[in-house]
Amino acid sequence: MEILITLIKIVGTLVWFLTLTLYLTWVERKESAVIQDRIGANRASILGIRAFGLFQPLADAVKMIFKQDFVPAFSDRILHSLAPFLSFFFVAVTITAVPFGDSLRIAGRTVALQVIDGSAGLIFILAMLSMGIYGILLGGWASRNRYSLLGGMRGAAQLISYEVALGFSLVGLVMVFPSLRLSDIVAFQGGLLFGFLPRWGVFLQPLGFALFFIAALAETKRVPFDLPEGESEIIGFFTEYGGLKWGLFMMTDFMEIIVMSALMTTLYFGGWQVPWLGPGGFHFPWGGEWPLPRGAVVALQVASFNIKVVFGCWLQILIRWTYPRLRYDQLMDLGWKILVPLGFANIGLTAVLIGVLS
């Protein structure tokens, strides 16, 4: 029975993850169209129904699946084919450690709305995201193309640099919420500050959140940090890819957006927590109450998590279509000369405040 429940959670999580990934491509097209005063993708239709272009991601998926798989004669065929699958796999497994909601009681069993509730879930996610570097390096190196190799090396240098800043930004949060288990971190954020303000990480670690968000943007390799791809410079590490393999690299980019939004939601915005909502319903700071059944509470919590994640995805796409690309020296200076020292400062300030307040 436990195995069946785990399989159902895995399938449900992946369906949610991949469906949202697919439709983020539509969101990006429509959001950029609104910014540039265009209509955006709206040609794909079923039975003459266009539905604002909602069928476009399905049309793109079918086209990529049936497109010819071309491998350059001068490339390393095995590694060339392996690279996009490595990038896709290591990002896909990270979502299993994210809690989508509180537990449910089903047939006398308590079912956590999380596939893996590991004692080091935060470390697991960071480790899997860092492994994605191998897919970028292999894609550039196995293509035997100077531009692709340069893109792969850029990607490795950028991701390693900003992972340092990302890690430092999270140390202060772990000092405040003393656990690496993501479900515990969400539970710690269930209280109130000053009697009315949710005890979310963004209020307890505002500097840490700012550092995390900037480093997370760099980890997704998108504007203004898209130096590994550099479309206008023709240096993308996936220059020699097409069809489904190119589609896997593109899907990985959008999956990273979702993972970073889910991680930001879990660590800094209370995860599935809803302000003033407890296990029995709402308990407002001014003294009012609104009792709710357990099923309604869980539904609101899951909806809260999804709204926060979708907002994070929308914000990242908005930034991608708003800001220009940084130069490579600016990219490295920002990571090593600004974010890393500020990360150290945030750790020290957090330690001082904890010592004074304890």
Secondary structure of 1-58 as H, E, C letters? CHHHHHHHHHHHHHHHHHHHHHHHHHHHHHHHHHHCCCCCCCCCCECCECHHHCCHHH
So what's the pLDDT on residue 333? 96
* Cα angle 124, 130, 134; round to 5: 130
pLDDT digit string, tens, across residues 311-355: 999 999 999 999 999 988 999 999 999 999 999 999 999 999 999
Q: Tell me the residue range of the domain where 307 lies.
A: 2-357
Q: How far apart are alpha carbons 13 and 276 in whole angstroms? A: 27
So what's the pLDDT on residue 70? 85
So what's the pLDDT on residue 109? 84
Q: How far apart are alpha carbons 257 and 255 in whole angstroms? A: 5
Q: How far apart are alpha carbons 16 and 98 in whole angstroms? A: 13
So what's the pLDDT on residue 106? 80
Bridge partners of 283? 289
Non-local CB neighbours of 291 within 8 Å, separated by 6+ positions: 280, 281
Look at the chain and report how many structural domains it folds into.
Answer: 1
What tens-digit pLDDT sequence spans the chain (358 residues)? 788 989 999 999 999 999 999 999 999 999 999 999 999 988 889 888 888 899 999 999 999 989 988 888 889 999 999 999 999 999 999 999 999 998 888 877 888 999 999 999 999 999 999 999 999 999 999 999 988 998 999 999 999 999 999 999 999 999 999 999 999 999 999 989 988 999 999 999 999 999 999 999 999 999 899 988 877 776 789 889 999 999 999 999 999 999 999 999 999 999 999 999 998 899 998 888 999 998 999 999 999 999 999 999 999 999 999 999 998 899 999 999 999 999 999 999 999 999 998 7
Q: What are the structure tokens assigned to 320, written together?
A: 């991608």
Helix%, strand%, coil% for the chain, nearest 5: 65, 5, 30
CB 238 within 8 A of CB 139: yes
For residue 65, give the amino acid letter. I
So what's the pLDDT on residue 91? 96
So what's the pLDDT on residue 234? 66
So what's the pLDDT on residue 216? 96
